[in-house]
Amino acid sequence: MTEKKYKNSNLNNSSTISVVSEMVMESLEEPPLVETIDKERQKKQNISDSSKEFIKKHFPNTTIEQWNDWKWQYKNSITTTEQLQKFLHLSESETIKEDNVEKYLPLRITPYYLSLLDDFDASQPLRKTVIPSVNEYYIGKDEVLDPLCEHGDSPIPNLVHRYPDRVLFLVSNTCSVYCRYCTRSHMVAKDCKEIFNDFEPAFKYIEENPQIRDVLLSGGDPLLLSDGKLEYFLRRLRAIPHVEIIRIGTKVPVVLP
Ligand code: SF4
């Protein structure tokens, strides 16, 4: 491969170019450039062998760069049982009808998280956290939609104030995966426009209660909000003098690499 070809490529990392050059020197055969770049990226981005196998098997036309892009992961999430069956051998209790998935907590798993699941073992703990089961549709007589009784401690629609110095601020109803154990499954992924349209009453409540020093942003997942929207929450809360701590409850870092 000539120097000219390197210059025409999109490579702009001198160390990558240097490694590629050395490999060319060592071999009479030219290594495919894309493959070489991918190998370097894999090293830098620490892709595990099992992830590589998974990508090769299920997403053969996907680059490591795409795999490591959270937007690609979100866009290619698995949302139906039909899709899921292409990746896993589902047990009888995991084979559920789509209309049930729509009616109750929906199915959503990112390809990365799916790559961590056992193909066959329906009792694998991680698998049980994200794969729906028909048992979810059995509602026991003592079960309630809001098991933590958050509604009872909610002075403002999207605020839960249970402990004097802290509040839970629900800012979104969308998640990167839907966990089968979710205690807020009655509102995540549901049509809750009325509580996500106007956040000013919640800010006003926090401003008027100086004992609140800790605000936990949750939902849904706040890290799925746009940067602008997230900044809006952080700026508004930072401007309240008695708020000392702002926390973000999120699953994004573990499901979107
Ligand atoms: S709110 Fe949290 S626990 Fe519930 S589905 Fe979303 S990420 Fe999972």
Please indicate, yes or no, whether residues 20 and 58 belong to a single structural domain of this protein. no
Return the pLDDT at 24.
34
The number of folded domains in the chain is 3
Of the candidates 143, 173, 197, which is a domain's last residue?
143
Q: Are 55 and 112 contacting, i.e. CB atoms less than 8 angstroms apart?
A: no
Q: By alpha-carbon position, which residue is closest to atom 3 of ligand 1? A: 182
Please indicate, yes or no, whether residues 55 and 88 belong to a single structural domain of this protein. yes
Domain range for 14: 1-46
CA distance 79 to 76: 9
* Cis before 228? omega within 30: no
Return the pLDDT at 137.
85
Kindly report the CA angle at 229 between 80 and 101, in degrees rounded to 5? 15
What is the position in ligand 1's atom list of the atom closest to the CA of 251? 7
Q: By alpha-carbon position, which residue is closest to atom 4 of ligand 1? A: 182
Please indicate, yes or no, whether residues 88 and 181 belong to a single structural domain of this protein. no
Please indicate, yes or no, whether residues 21 and 56 belong to a single structural domain of this protein. no
Please indicate, yes or no, whether residues 157 and 249 belong to a single structural domain of this protein. yes
- How far out from the chain centre does Cα 161 lie? 26
CA distance 107 to 80: 6
What is the position in ligand 1's atom list of the atom closest to the CA of 249? 2
CA distance 217 to 194: 18
What is the position in ligand 1's atom list of the atom closest to the CA of 250? 7
CA distance 170 to 21: 53
Give me ligand 1 centre to Cα 176, in Å.
8
Give me ligand 1 centre to Cα 175, in Å.
6
Residues of the chain with pLDDT under 70: 1-45, 98-103, 194
Please indicate, yes or no, whether residues 185 and 130 belong to a single structural domain of this protein. no
Please indicate, yes or no, whether residues 13 and 57 belong to a single structural domain of this protein. no
Cβ–ligand 1 contact at 175 (below 6 Å) = yes
- How far out from the chain centre does Cα 237 lie? 24
Return the pLDDT at 1.
37
Q: By alpha-carbon position, which residue is closest to atom 5 of ligand 1? A: 178
CA distance 37 to 19: 10
Each residue of 40-99: pLDDT tens digit? 655 556 788 888 999 999 999 999 999 999 999 999 999 999 999 999 999 999 988 766
Give me ligand 1 centre to Cα 36, in Å.
39
Of the candidates 125, 143, 161, which is a domain's last residue?
143
